[in-house]
Amino acid sequence: MANLRLCYLQISNSLCTEPWYAGKGSRFYHGSWKTVSNRKKIGQPIERPVGWSGSCIVHCCSTSSTTSAGEATEQVFLEDRSSIEEKEEQFEYLASEFGWKVRRLAENRDEMREVAQIQAEAFHTPVALFDDLFFEFFKAEVLSGLLYKLKNSPPDRYACLVAEPAAERKLVGIVDVTALRDEDVLQHLAGADEYLYISGIARLTISYNNRRRKIGSALLKACDVLSHLWGFECLALRAYEDDMGARKLYTNAGYKVVSSDPQWVTWIGRKRRVLMIKRSDMLD
């Protein structure tokens, strides 16, 4: 149990950046659309809202130690963040496609719990004994990781986006967007010093079967819009090499395969992935 707990900690901490794990059941792994269902009723909301507040985190120096240059830098920092917030506040939804609307995660604990539920359903690997207990523990870890990222990330470095039907307020899909500087990716992005990484995609089993796959297209469209607002030219994601359905989805969204995992990863029981990138066509 101790080893499994450590594994869960690693998984929950890597959600929203780049999950490395795979397993059985209904889920979405590195670009492979699978379905997940509501395992249990979402817990009651906690009264005090917690999460991203739309404001940046700035550590100010004391008056005696602050130089004029430092003050000027801080002022520019604040102005840049203010500009980003004003752009995002102009509209509630980042994308409205195929009957789905995508927005940024609300800053209340009730919705965060719902997101944690969906992601836990997507990434939890069932165990033979005490599965319900481990699932609840895993869900708590996922929620803790989400709260940490929302609290400690500037508003233009990380975002959790959620999709819902156009006619109702019900979460049906999730995607995480994180600004990263991984050299393994940057070597394929000439002239870029960072990029937006798309990960942690999950969706619920829903009754809209005739257009369920369009949720992914709507989420990717929202990621494009976010890259425009944040001023990022490049986006990247990973998909399983043999998942042609997911790769077709990403290809239609403008992503191209630039590399793949080495063959030896299959020797340790992992599936090979491909790295896919795109350059945003939405920048001014």
Helices (H), 39-130: 68-89, 109-123
Closest residue by Cα to residue 154 from 225, 232, 54:
54
**Farthest CA pair distance, the chain:** 64
Place of tokens 């607002």: 229
Contact in structure between 198 and 227 (CB atoms under 8 Å): no
Pairwise CA distance, residues 176 & 162, whole Å = 9
Pairwise CA distance, residues 56 & 71, whole Å = 16
184-188: list long-range contacts, CB under 8 Å, 24+ apart: 184/275, 185/236, 185/275, 185/277, 188/258, 188/259, 188/275, 188/277
284 vs 19, 27, 75, 159, 218, CA distance in Å? Answer: 32, 36, 25, 22, 22
Catalytic residues: 250
